[in-house]
Structure 1
Amino acid sequence: MDKDALDLEVIHNFLSNESYWSKGISKEDVIKSIRNSAFCFGMYFIDPIDKKRKQIGFARVISDLVTHAYLQDVFILAPYRNKGLGNWLLNTITNYEELKLRRFMLATDDGHSFYSKFGFQPLDNPNFFMQKKGKGAI
C-alpha cells in the first residue's frame, strides 16, 4: 500500500496500452490519479534468487473513507493470471477495515462474475444514479 513503492512504468504501460478503460492515458494522469486516491494496492513478485521485486498487479480506491468508495484500475499482468492472485487482491481490498463503508462501487465491462464473489452486485436501482461523461470516458 506504499504509493512510493509502486512501479509507475508498469502501471502506466498496462493502463495505457492493455486496459480497455484507460487506453492512451498519459503518465502524468496516472501519477495524479495515484496521488489523489485514498489507497493503492500493489502486488509484487519477489525473485527467490536475486530478491528483486517486480510489480505484477495493482488496484486503487477512491474514497472519502466515511461513506463511499470506488474501486478502479484493477489488474494482474497476463503472465501471473489464473493463479488466484486476483482473488487474493480483492479479498485484501474488500476486507480492509477502512473500506467497510456504506457503499463500495466499481464499473466493469467483463468482470461481473469475478467481482460478485466479493459481494459486488448490479445496482438495485440504476436509474437512481447519474453520470456526466468527460474526456476519455467510455
Structure 2
Amino acid sequence: MVSGYRVSSHREEMDFDAIHTYISSTYWAEGIPKETFKKALDNSLCFGVFSSEGKQVGFARMITDQATFAYLADVFIDEAHRGKGLSKWLMQEVHDHPSLQGLRRILLATRDAHSLYQQFGYTPLSSPSTFMQKWQPDIYKG
C-alpha cells in the first residue's frame, strides 16, 4: 500500500481515455486505435492505480484464461508518480488477485523493466527455442 493512492480491478473505474493516451504513445503500442484498445481491455483483467484525487496514474492488464495461462501487458505508472513504489505495489496486487492463482505460466515482454519483474519471479525463457511468435510490429501504422 502506498499512502495517497489505491489500486482497483473494477473495470468501471478505469479511465479509458487516460489509459489509451498513455499506451498509444509507448514503444510497444504506438498508434493503437481506440477501438482496438477498447476491445483489448474488454477482454482482459485490468488494474488501475488512482491518486487520492481519483486520477488514474497507473495501469496493468492480464490477458488470461484464469486457469492455466496469462500474459502481462500494458504496465505503466505516469512519470509524475514514479519513484514511490507504485509499480511494485501494482504488481503485487496483480499477482495476488484471486483469478490469477494457480496459473502454470505467465509471460510478458519488456525492453527496460527487467529488474521490476524479476522481483516477482520472472526470468528469461528457459527454453526460448520452444516459443514462436507471429509479430507485426507496424500493424498500427497506417
TM-score (norm 1): 0.89
**Structure 1 consecutive aligned stretches of length 4 or more whose deviation exceeds 4 Å:** none
Listed as ranges, the matches of 1:97-112 within 5 Å are 97-100=98-101, 101-112=103-114
Equivalent residue for 2:55? Answer: 54
1:23-55 per-position Cα deviation (integer Å, ceiling 9, x unaligned)? 111111111110011x100110023xxxxx100
Equivalent residue for 1:8? Answer: 16
| 1:34 matches 2:41 | yes
Q: Of the two structures, which has the highest relative contact order with CA contacts closer than 8 Å and spacing of 6 or more?
A: 2
2:66 aligned counterpart, secondary structure = coil
| 1:122 matches 2:124 | yes
TM superposition shift of 1:4: 1.8
**AA aligned opposite 1:22:** A
TM-score (norm 2): 0.87
CA distance in 2, matches of 1:136, 1:3: 29
CA distance in 1, matches of 2:60, 2:113: 14
TM superposition shift of 1:135: 5.7
**AA aligned opposite 1:36:** N
CA distance in 1, matches of 2:43, 2:99: 17
Give the counterpart of 2:28 among 3, 8, 21.
21
> Where do 5+ consecutive residues of structure 1 fail to align?
48-52
| RMSD, matched Cα | 1.2
Q: How many corresponding residue pairs?
A: 130
Identity of aligned residues (%): 45
Greater Cα offset, 91-100 or 71-80: 91-100
